[in-house]
Structure 1
């Protein structure tokens, strides 16, 4: 019960890595708001996790929706201790000059600007929390990617957006540490999530083998892998850790 009495928001929490994080957080004692554009999946995930989980339809690229997300968490749970910025999108593998402006704008809106909206709303709220272990008032966990550390060809603008997340994590960590707010990130390798097919372009045995050949441990990451790592970084056990962008990648970035 490492997250006992904690309140968490997880964006993109209805499936993939987000669902794995929600499941682990609830198992460790947290109350969780599952924020997702797909409200049907979010409701199903919340129902499976029980009374400590609640679903809300949220488009993280909307400032209005993000504000409502924060207000809903406070209304139902009383406070916000943990924010997980997990929602993300990509473009199909292609030469960087062929990515449409529409796809580029969507990546900026979901992978980057959504974090700006969320930080703008959650930081003042966390500053008002009573300090806990090590003086920590709140934790923000951003889900970046190994793409921001060791970019793959033909995913250029997705790679760049995740590099931005890594830099934003470090910059925000330095600024917010004196206020008792920790900011950390996870860099997962490609995993068994709805985005996997988009990363590969096509889901074939040959393409899977090509991707797996770059991961020394020899398997894709799983929602459980991300849930376990997220639980540690968001728990009081990690109260001295901030600005860390930790690879969960089976050795890919070595």
Structure 2
């Protein structure tokens, strides 16, 4: 199916690995021009190099306003405008409200939630200049009527992303800027590869992840990339303020 993304300019944060890298790759395959943005500049550069002439790398800390503004300015300067913003950058750590370190709490909120605000703040004028566009935010299935233990800051941040998505959708619909979110479940990534080296029984750990969903499986980055690209495309023109859940059924389990 043609997603009508040829020559569209797309900015993806958190694109140095995992969901972000898979999303950047799929956009390029659909004919778009992509800025691969990540806190880890070397990772962003490697992904962009693999994607070829229609990709550029940018090092960004999405918790800093000056970085977010510079990133949008870079996309416009390199490719002539901006049509799609994918707010995918994120981080998490263990902790309850009792045990979470305050600095770590602030960092998780700043990257996962404030980063969406800052990137969108500077992207909206650029999108408006093109006559509209799309913003897709990466939330989580825990932003629905569920949560997970020992992830208080992450759960709070992703719940905020889901709510902010709806607010932005209302604020900018008249500008022909569609704002939606995707809600992944367990998606296999380098994070889980590292976890396998830290647990006593790797096979039991993997079985536990699979058991979170009735499909008895976890997702892959490409599963979420496909959802993001659809939401960003004109094929989803009537999707406004939607949270598209892609979690193997975990949220209804």
The TM-score bracket by the shorter chain reads over 0.9
Q: How does 1:27-106 map to 2 (within 5 A)?
A: 27-92=29-94, 94-106=95-107
2:175 is aligned with 1:174: no
- Return the offset for 1:90: 0.3
Q: Is the 8 A contact 2:38 2:59 kept in 1?
A: yes
Q: Residue 244 of structure 2: SS of its match in structure 1?
A: strand
Which residue of the partner structure matches residue 128 of structure 2?
127
**Structure 1 residues not aligned, in runs of 5+:** 131-136
Of 11, 36, 43, 2:13 maps to 11
Structure 1 residues 64, 186: CA separation in 2 closer, same or farther (over 3 Å shift)? Answer: same
TM-score when normalising by structure 2? 0.93
**Separation in 1, partners of 2:91, 2:142:** 13
Q: Residue 87 of structure 1: SS of its match in structure 2?
A: coil
Of 16, 25, 28, 1:26 maps to 28
Q: Is the 8 A contact 2:85 2:120 kept in 1?
A: no
- Return the offset for 1:155: 1.1
- Return the offset for 1:168: 0.3
- Return the offset for 1:118: 1.1
Structure 1 residues 198, 104: CA separation in 2 closer, same or farther (over 3 Å shift)? Answer: farther
1:104-131: CA deviations, max 9, x gaps? Answer: 011111011111111211112212213x
TM-score when normalising by structure 1? 0.93
Q: How does 1:176-195 map to 2 (within 5 A)?
A: 176-195=172-191
Of 138, 145, 149, 1:143 maps to 138
**Separation in 2, partners of 1:176, 1:238:** 16
Structure 1 residues 232, 15: CA separation in 2 closer, same or farther (over 3 Å shift)? Answer: same
- Return the offset for 1:103: 1.0
1:18-74: CA deviations, max 9, x gaps? Answer: 001001100011100000111111111111111111101111111111111001000
**What root-mean-square deviation, in Å, do the aligned CA atoms of Structure 1 and Structure 2 show?**
1.7
Number of equivalenced pairs = 247
Q: Is the 8 A contact 2:209 2:217 kept in 1?
A: no
| Structure 1 residue ranges, 4+ long, deviating more than 4 angstroms after superposition | 197-203
